Amino acid sequence: MTGEDKAMASGHRYHILSVDVEDYFQVEAFADVVPVNTWDSWPSRVERNTRRVLDIFSRYDAKATFFFVGWVAERCPSLVQEVQAQGHEVACHSYWHQCIYKLTPEQFRADTERAIEVIEQAAGTRVRGYRAPSWSITRQSLWALEILKELGFTYDSSVFPIHHDLYGLPGAKRFPYRHSFADAAVLPEFPPTTVKIAGATLPAAGGGYLRLMPLAYTDFAFRQVESAGEKVMVYFHPWEVDPEQPRIAARLKSRFRHYTNLKGMEDRIVHLLQNYKFKPFRDIIRSASHTDQMAIA
């Protein structure tokens, strides 16, 4: 009996836990006031915040996938190594954290190749998973999937099947599926969690949706997804457990999205870790391959 079989036999289903490792000033909401050429002038808090996340996970024996921004991995290689040494998976979250639909295919390829190089150099192992900055694989940037396949990624988690002012691919599948290519290759896709309410597809269980929505809504999402026989994919950022971070003079909507309920985020993460079981993408994919589900090489 596998670990997941045992978990399900005891009433627990394993879900997916992930962290997008970026600093507080690197988010898309602040891109218009904090250009990338000023990043080195901002006081970095990503190491201390990521270690805080690692400590939380350690208390509950939870393992996750950490999607590193290459800029962070290049400057903090020991952090990448620490994440890996604690049994977590290291994956790619671009180099400059720029929305893909703002880039040309050539710029995207160069950014991704640079990110792969620095993350793999720090980790000492191959990077297999990719997550786009701000879920920015949309109808305008589906071409990026071909490049990810060509660069050797074996899974993606970038397509959010919702309407949003910054991202989203409405009508996309809500649960894991495969992108197919002309050369018969496939790339498994793991969408972030959504729920169906009155016919609408709504986001849940990650980032601002975990921070801003009532915990009852998040628990409802777990129940609905589990009843469908699927897994919830939780994601958040290290800066979301840092209520003391510097405040940036951005637009009101951006400040609301970024700063609301930072003080309560750690408690919400702990609630999930106390009530649900999690694995990184790597282990979920391995379990699926043993049962001839979404197997990848």
Pull the structure tokens for residue 158: 């970038």
- Say if CB 201 and CB 168 are below 8 A apart: no
Mean pLDDT computed over 99-103: 97
Residue 10 has pLDDT above 50, yes or no: no
- Say if CB 133 and CB 94 are below 8 A apart: yes
pTM equals 0.93
* Residue type present at position 60: Y
Look at residue 174 in the predicted model and tell me its pLDDT: 97
CA distances from 114 to 107, 171, 237 (A): 11, 32, 22
Please name each of the domains of the chain with its CATH number: 14-289 (3.20.20.370)
Residue 273 has pLDDT above 70, yes or no: yes
Residue 110 burial (C-beta neighbours within 10 Å; 0-12, 13-18, 19+): middle
Average pLDDT score over the chain: 93
Residue 201 has pLDDT above 90, yes or no: yes
Look at residue 238 in the predicted model and tell me its pLDDT: 98
CA distance 90 to 130: 10
Q: Which three-class secondary structure state does DSSP give residue 155?
A: strand
Q: What percent of the chain has pLDDT over 90?
A: 90
DSSP classification of residue 91: E
Element (H, E) at 195: strand 194-197
Pairing of strands 277-279, 177-180: unpaired
CA distance 84 to 127: 12
Q: Which three-class secondary structure state does DSSP give residue 174?
A: coil
Of 126, 116, 121, 95, whose CA–CA distance to 21 is shortest?
95
Mean pLDDT computed over 175-198: 97
Mean pLDDT computed over 220-244: 98
Pull the structure tokens for residue 256: 């609301």
Of 96 and 294, the one with more pLDDT = 96
| Beta bridge pairs of residue 14 | 277
Look at residue 287 in the predicted model and tell me its pLDDT: 82
Of 175, 218, 176, 224, whose CA–CA distance to 196 is shortest?
224
Q: pLDDT category, 16, cuts 50, 70, 90?
A: very high
Lowest pLDDT segment from 7-11, 162-166, 210-214: 7-11
Residue 222 has pLDDT above 70, yes or no: yes
116 CB-side CA count, 13 A? 17
CA distances from 189 to 85, 155, 225 (A): 26, 6, 17
Residue 292 has pLDDT above 60, yes or no: no
Residue 262 has pLDDT above 60, yes or no: yes
Residue 266 has pLDDT above 70, yes or no: yes
Element (H, E) at 200: strand 200-203
Look at residue 62 in the predicted model and tell me its pLDDT: 98
